């Protein structure tokens, strides 16, 4: 079958790879009808992730049709239209029972080498093998457009996880650092979840304009402090969500939050440590949380919001193509010409 594969740092290529096969009785094979390209995939292309060998298939966002199921798959049948989660989980351990599938010991993350758990082949391909299919997959209801399901399976789940963690109170002033696809979906989620004002903080002018045309205010990072201060009578934001990753953005987040404010970081952190301003955090009774999107826990709620028309995540999609277009789409995303791209394998 055809699939998008990692070639070498900076380069992905379409290649012919073997069809996946059932490897465990809880597996399913899914024919991918739609796949997303995520900011995380840009790291894969750069060669940042351990275990991502040349020829490995990329991608972790997908929607498709079940082709075959293992003997222990109870709730799915060939022909079912399904939406994926970017990672897998067993569905019946202590962590899964509590709704925290990310911490399941059997977690695997599609198409990212061994960076986040067991190595799994990616989903930017004609077919993908899905472990723990009863948990990892969900039936795609007719009320949810396939492109929305791509976002529920990863980027929107991440944005929503941040908002859930922040425990918004109605009218809260929420600053979101980063105006990529995840940041924009975080902003939309905060609006839905009763924020009073949402400010997207982003250096790219087009991304700021996107935020402004979708219900948020926007500011360049250099002007964020002044704007947030003005909006809050000098107190600071009630909640700051950091959706970029790295120590600089956390520092910015700390500086924007009010006393007793809540900071939630959903960006990836490569550095081992961060010089945390502990004296100020103590004096101001701050709370700092880290959150990772969990589509398995969150998809029921997100599907409801999409079905109700309360939230349309597909507004961030501004590029679509076939597998052979994918290398070019990666370049457009890398240079921030595009916000979010979808591939039809």
* Binding positions for a second copy, rule: CB under 8 A: 26, 72, 74-75, 92, 94-95, 97-98, 100, 102-103, 134, 165, 169-171, 173, 192-197, 235, 247, 250, 259-260, 265, 268-282, 284-292, 300-301, 304-305, 307-310
Backbone angles phi, psi at 208, to 5 degrees: -65, -40
CB closer to a second copy, 45 vs 254: 254
With respect to a second copy, which residue has the nearer C-beta, 255 or 287? 287
CB of 20 to a second copy, least distance (A): 22
Beta bridge mates, 30: 66, 128
Shorter beta-carbon distance to a second copy: residue 261 or 345: 261
Kindly report the length of the chain.
345
Cα–Cα distance, 183 to 170 (Å, whole number) = 20
Least distance to a second copy, CB of residue 290, Å: 4
Nearest to a second copy of 131, 345 (CB atom): 131
Which of 107, 113, 102 is CA-nearest to residue 44?
113
Q: Write out the two tokens for 132.
A: 């723990």
- Least distance CB 210 / a second copy (angstroms): 19
In this structure, what token pair is assigned to residue 119?
Answer: 């190595």
CB of 54 to a second copy, least distance (A): 27
DSSP letter at 102?
A: G
Nearer to a second copy, 74 or 344 (CB): 74
Residue number, 38 or 343, with CB nearest to a second copy: 38
For residue 190, the minimal CB distance to a second copy (Å) is 10
Q: In angstroms, give the least distance from the CB of 253 to a second copy.
A: 12
DSSP 99: T
Which lies closer to a second copy via its Cβ, residue 262 or residue 340? 262
Q: Which residues sit opposite 125 in a β-bridge?
A: 3
Q: CB within 8 A of 80, min separation 6: which ones?
A: 65, 66, 139
The helix (H) or strand (E) run that includes residue 190 is helix 181-192
Distance (Å, rounded) from C-alpha 293 to C-alpha 291?
7
Measured over all CA atoms, what is the biggest interatomic distance in the chain, rounded to whole angstroms? 61
User: CA-to-CA distance for 344 and 331, rounded, in angstroms?
Assistant: 17
What end-to-end distance do the CA atoms of the chain give, in Å?
Answer: 10
Q: Which residues pair with 309 in a beta bridge?
A: none
């Amino acid at each position: 079958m055809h699939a998008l594969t990692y070639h070498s740092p900076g380069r992905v290529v379409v290649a012919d790879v073997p069809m996946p096969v059932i490897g465990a009785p809880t597996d399913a094979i899914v024919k991918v009808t739609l796949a997303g390209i995520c900011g995380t995939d840009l790291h894969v292309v750069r060669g940042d992730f351990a275990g991502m060998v040349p020829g490995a298939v990329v991608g972790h966002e997908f929607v498709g049709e079940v082709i075959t199921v293992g003997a222990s798959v109870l709730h799915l049948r060939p022909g079912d239209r399904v939406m994926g989660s970017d990672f897998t989980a067993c569905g019946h351990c202590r962590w899964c029972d509590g709704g925290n599938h990310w911490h399941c010991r059997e977690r695997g993350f599609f198409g990212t080498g061994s960076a986040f758990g067991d190595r799994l082949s990616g989903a930017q391909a004609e077919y993908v093998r899905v472990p723990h299919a009863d948990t990892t997959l969900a039936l795609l209801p007719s009320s949810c457009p396939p492109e929305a399901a791509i976002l529920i399976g990863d980027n929107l789940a991440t944005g929503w996880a941040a908002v859930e963690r922040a425990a918004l109170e109605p009218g809260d002033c929420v600053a979101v650092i980063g105006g990529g696809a995840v940041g924009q979906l975080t902003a939309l989620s905060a609006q839905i979840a009763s924020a009073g004002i949402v400010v997207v903080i982003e250096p790219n002018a087009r991304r700021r304009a996107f935020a402004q045309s979708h219900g948020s205010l926007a500011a360049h990072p250099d002007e964020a402090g002044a704007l947030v201060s003005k909006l809050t009578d000098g107190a600071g934001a009630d909640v700051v969500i950091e959706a970029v990753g790295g120590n600089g953005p956390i520092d910015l987040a700390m500086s924007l939050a009010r006393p007793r404010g809540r900071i939630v970081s959903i960006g990836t952190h490569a550095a081992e440590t961060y010089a945390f301003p502990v004296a100020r955090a103590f004096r101001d009774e701050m709370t700092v949380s880290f959150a990772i999107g969990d589509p398995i826990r969150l998809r029921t709620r997100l599907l409801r919001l999409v079905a109700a028309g309360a939230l349309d995540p597909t507004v961030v999609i501004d590029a679509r193509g076939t597998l052979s277009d994918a290398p070019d789409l990666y370049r457009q995303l890398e240079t921030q010409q595009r916000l979010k791209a979808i591939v039809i394998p």
